[in-house]
Amino acid sequence: MNQLLSSATDNLKGTVNVPGDKSISHRALIMGSLAIGETLVAGLLEGEDVLNTAAAMRALGADIRKDEDGTWHIHGVGVGALHEPEGALDMGNSGTGARLLMGLISTYPFSTTFIGDASLSSRPMKRVTDPLESFGAEFHGSENGTLPLTVRGTGMPVPISYDVPVASAQVKSAIMLAALNTPGTTTIFEKKPTRDHTERMFSFFGVDTTTTPKDSGRVITVTGQPELTARNLTVPGDPSSAAFPVVAALITPGSDITIRNVGLNPDRTGLFITLKEMGADIEFVNEREDCGEPVADLRVRHSRLKAITVPQDRAPSMIDEYPILCIAAAFADGTTMMRGAEELRVKESDRIAIMVKGLRACGIDVEEFDDGMAITGSREKPAGGAVIETHLDHRIAMSFLTLGLQSEQPVTVDDGSVIETSFPIFRELMNGLGANIHPAGENK
């Protein structure tokens, strides 16, 4: 176990760049691999999850390499030209990578086996595989649809119309990727809008796709078998990664930090909106657009937060940020209510149960619900002093390390190595701002 320990700090100061957006990085690799010509990608997140997707796309036929200056070169093979990999595709801890690639290859006439680590192998896949079977693909594995799972793609896919039963950008995106190699038009109905990174990336590469508002949701269409042309792009900084230094600065007196080049996709800003409603001093500076995505620099200063009830319909736009929101809520006056987030039960871990257990161990008052929790915060520092079981979940680990920056006693996470999957420079970046995060046992 690689235990990490976080101790109290005086304040955070400085200007930093967080790693590239993980969702956009996955999609940039996939779409570049399907485009004719050379796609150049700057700012790609180089965490384990994305690197596993790069390795998988190489195994499927793309030529992908990285320059000394950090630019990634992708020579694509064209839609319809992927080939059967020689071995299983190991997706490590990445549910996003696994589900997107299951969609992509479900409409190719070959078989592929997906494997992953213990965490990924415990996560359900049926909500993705069920609609993909409608294209004609077959899936073979355990009864509950967990990895290892073999996909037998179809050589004669048929377009589908699918009503997504639960708000999930991964399910939607898997269907859209399956539609790329399917003749005709595939239609997807979303009851609740989810992140639109796939739609934006499809449009950026020239896929004929439309998005139409309908009632409270959206209708998305994809016309299959396009000829994609290589494009150059810069991946915006990941707002999910920016969330950790943002909340750390908000709860640490005297803090004033700037985070450059953060993606502000409207489907990803739920946390920042929620924090501002709680009284957070967050300023968007130098707003602009890159590769179809809105971007800005964030200036964040320590703030006295107040509790709110988070609107349930905001959950899809901040589903990955609930763990770090829990930390902000622990420092807000009053009881912060978070409901409508049942998807947290099936993320990298059961994030509701694990956050509740960890918060209570650190002396924080929390009530658990099937679809969320209520956290009663205080102006007083929480006790801390606990060793948190992360269950191989990187966001759990980073959230409790953030809590330790303002706890009476240090907070330890049982395995900090899982952070490598999404934010490999987390400790370096945070300590550069003034945090005190280090391996347990080191004297600091």
What is the per-residue pLDDT across 15-62, written as a single tens digit (0 to 9) for each? Answer: 999 999 989 999 999 999 999 999 999 999 998 899 999 999 999 999
Which domains does the chain possess? 4-20+236-439 (3.65.10.10), 22-233 (3.65.10.10)
CB atoms within 10 A of CB 321: 26
CB atoms within 10 A of CB 327: 30
State whether the Cα torsion 222-227-230-232 is positive or negative. Answer: negative
> How does the average pLDDT of the chain come out, rounded?
94
Q: Is 23 annotated as a binding residue?
A: yes
Q: Does residue 148 have a cis bond before it (omega within 30 degrees)?
A: yes
Q: Is 99 annotated as a binding residue?
A: no
pLDDT of residue 105: 98
Contact between 328 and 303 under an 8 Å Cβ cutoff? The reply is no
- pLDDT tens figures, 156-197: 999 999 999 987 899 999 999 999 999 999 999 999 888 899
Minimum mean pLDDT range among 84-88, 114-118, 194-198, 259-263: 194-198
State whether the Cα torsion 8-11-13-17 is positive or negative. Answer: positive
Q: DSSP per residue over 389-420, as a string?
A: --TT-HHHHHHHHHHGGGSSB-EEES-GGGGG
pLDDT of residue 330: 98
Single pTM value for the model: 0.83
pLDDT of residue 379: 83
pLDDT of residue 441: 79
pLDDT of residue 125: 94
pLDDT of residue 205: 95
Q: Is 22 annotated as a binding residue?
A: yes
Q: End-to-end CA distance of the chain, in Å?
A: 20
pLDDT of residue 1: 60
Residue 443 has pLDDT above 60, yes or no: no
Contact between 109 and 153 under an 8 Å Cβ cutoff? The reply is yes
Q: Is 268 annotated as a binding residue?
A: no
Q: Strand pairing partners for 67? A: none
Q: Is 119 annotated as a binding residue?
A: no
List 90, 320, 414, 415, catalytic entry:
320
pLDDT of residue 370: 87
CB atoms within 10 A of CB 216: 10
Q: CA nearest 382: which of 412, 402, 362, 405?
A: 362
pLDDT of residue 128: 96
Exposed, middle or buried, 442 (CB in 10 Å: 0-12/13-18/19+)?
exposed
- pLDDT tens figures, 342-372: 878 867 678 988 999 999 999 999 998 988 9
- pLDDT over 70 percentage in the chain: 99
The answer to whether 320 is a known catalytic residue is yes
pLDDT of residue 54: 98
Q: Is 170 annotated as a binding residue?
A: yes
pLDDT of residue 371: 87
